[in-house]
Amino acid sequence: MEEVFGVEDYPETDTSPKAKRQEIDEKPAVDCIDLTTDSPASTHTPPEEDDSKLSVISWNVDGLDTDNLAERARGLCSYLVLYTPDVVFLQELIPPYVQYLKKRAVSYLIIEGGENHYFTGMMLKRSRVKLVESEIVTYPSTQMKRNLLLAQVDFKGQKLCLMTSHLESCKGHAEERMKQLRVVMRRMSEAPDNVTVLFGGDTNLRDTEVAKVGLPSSVCDVWEQLGKQEHCRYTWDTKTNNNKNIPFVSRCRFDRVYLRPATKDGVPRLAPDHMALVGLEKLDCGRYTSDHWGIYCSFSSG
């Protein structure tokens, strides 16, 4: 797999997405990400924003598919330049993909949820998010080596608990997936009341499974909270995304973001104010950055 990224030693062609910003009220970080110089996104100048707003991207980057992987990793980096998220939740990373990100996205601290095969990770913008500690929680009965990655961070004086996971895949593993969701929800609901908890990841969940488990009253599904907007419902959509060449149409909301605001008096309450899908543009190699669309969310303090 390491050889997949060997093309980086040669002059790069422009494989970045010809993306246009979608109603994102962000301003660029002062310490711009050190990425490919040929990315049109690197000259993008977003409008001014409220400096206290938190921005997040969650994305299964499909590192297990090594076809065009270097170009697709460059595509991810171009979206990071375009949207300048404070926090990035990633799933299906592989070691050489992480090494590429560490080389290119120098203004982010990268936390890995594993070392071998494939795993999750987080990226924290160094200038805005300060890591306090991180933890990996193993799911006891997983057959796919899945876990829950947590990070306690400070964001503009606010205490956040960030979580990401890649829940058990495939329809036949619904019971294990629901067990894992219960672990996530328990950790979210048990966090101290002065901490805001934010989860983003590839849950592989079906709505019937969520209904069986039930969300704690303190936890909201961000997509539902924002009015169940149709344009960002399906994060796995073979009707449009042909990276996998699947011969049938499958449209699912596998990737989800959950929020449990802090409730203690005097502590700012984060609330979602925007969601959009990212990665909808084909790269010059003719494929998308991933077989999943990424989710962009922004949150305001109230």
Catalytic residues: 202
- Residue by residue, what is the 3-state secondary structure of the chain? CHHHHHHHHCCCCCCCCCCCCCCCCCCCCCCCCCCCCCCHHHHCCCCCCCCCCEEEEEEECCCCCCCCHHHHHHHHHHHHHHHCCCEEEEEEECHHHHHHHHHHCCCEEEEECCCCCCEEEEEEECCCEEEEEEEEEECCCCCCCCEEEEEEEEECCEEEEEEEEECCCCHHHHHHHHHHHHHHHHHHHHCCCCEEEEEEEECCCCHHHHHHHCCCCCCEEHHHHCCCCHHHCCCEECCCCCCCCCCCCCEECCEEEEEECCCCCCCCCEEEEEEEEECCCCCCCCCCCCCCCEEEEEEEEC
